[in-house]
Amino acid sequence: MTFEALKPQVSDILNNNAIEADERLQKVCDLLKENIAHYNWVGFYFRNGDKPELLLRKFAGKQTDHTVIPFGRGICGQVALSNQNFVVPDVAAQDNYIACSIDVKSEIVVPLFVNGENIGQIDIDSNTPDPFTKEDERFLEWVNKEVALILE
């Protein structure tokens, strides 16, 4: 399914005020994992209060031991500090990569901002080498802007 075709579905989920924000986040994770072939794991990490760490809030895919990630550690931890998208075409080539599964070949992490502050991120793992394009980045930036609206 194309990113453009998914946008109305993401919006419908996020605008459904009849369900809690966490359930909406879970439904977005499920939707993306089920409809984008190279998205094998989709998750939202959020800053843990005032602590310099991220907590996994909702995800779709295999269970992970990495539910808490210190700032600076791994790709997610680096994005928490840099406030920049991070696309990893080959996780084996990254010194600071935290392995979640031997099947993961690549990763993309896009920060999530509310009122200009980096409060979390969307993290996508792929079992395909180098599948992420600028279109993935733009789409995930759009998803995060929509998510930010329900978190403000």
pLDDT in tens, 71-127: 999 999 999 999 999 999 998 888 766 666 778 999 999 999 999 999 999 999 999
pLDDT at 95: 74
- Domains of the chain: total: 1
pLDDT at 93: 85
pLDDT at 34: 98
For 147, half-sphere exposure in the C-beta direction (CA atoms, 13 angstrom radius) is 28
Q: Are 129 and 90 in contact (CB under 8 A)?
A: yes
Q: What is the CA radius of gyration of the chain?
A: 14
pLDDT at 3: 97
Over range 32-56, report the average pLDDT. Answer: 97
pLDDT at 99: 66
Residue 30 binned pLDDT confidence (cut-offs 50, 70, 90): very high
The pTM score is: 0.95
The CATH number of whichever domain residue 94 belongs to comes to 3.30.450.40
Kind plus residue range of the DSSP H or E element containing 139: helix 134-151
Q: Are 44 and 120 in contact (CB under 8 A)?
A: yes
Over range 15-41, report the average pLDDT. Answer: 97
pLDDT at 124: 97
List the domain range (segments joined by +) for residue 56: 3-151
